[in-house]
Structure 1
């Protein structure tokens, strides 16, 4: 009898752990942030640029810019020539 209670207790414990782990991932977005990208040159309009390398949630490099006057957030095309120049130039700087 004690063996059955022990086994049931272990099963309940493992089930509780599994449910708790699933809950901890609820707010996590498992998709890419950028659906569409902008390739037009707009360097003077940008206040901030964030670069997100490929990861387990998105296989794409994502470059997200915040515009100065409107605070609008847009995704930039990493393949755009002007974007490549910015990031190559930054890598060469000491």
Structure 2
């Protein structure tokens, strides 16, 4: 009987720790899955205000490029393989090197 209580207590403790760890990662802004489900490949370059690049990691195997639009502030996932997106990324990298 005592053994069952110890086992149940350990299981409950591990469950609380796992839930707490998941919440703390989310609170730190760490998403545990890919941000982009669909990507945009048509040219929208002149509508872009900012671009964020997220390299592949343990939560998502894909490189993700998220653009925020000027007028609507909407975030759109860009296709990293689209030629115009590659040019935008090269320009951002060149500008950051010269700064």
| TM range, smaller chain | 0.7 to 0.9
Residues in 1 aligned to 2:68 and 2:91: alpha-carbon distance in whole angstroms: 20
1:33 corresponds in structure 2 to 35
1:21 corresponds in structure 2 to 17
Of structures 1 and 2, the larger Rg is shown by 1
TM-score (norm 2): 0.71
1:68 corresponds in structure 2 to 70
1:85 corresponds in structure 2 to 87
TM-score (norm 1): 0.74
Root-mean-square deviation over aligned CA pairs: 2.5
Residues in 1 aligned to 2:49 and 2:91: alpha-carbon distance in whole angstroms: 18
Residues in 1 aligned to 2:41 and 2:50: alpha-carbon distance in whole angstroms: 16
Offset at 1:57?
0.8
Higher helix share: 2
Unaligned runs of 5+ in 1: none
Residues in 2 aligned to 1:73 and 1:87: alpha-carbon distance in whole angstroms: 16
Between stretches 16-25 and 70-79, larger displacement belongs to 16-25
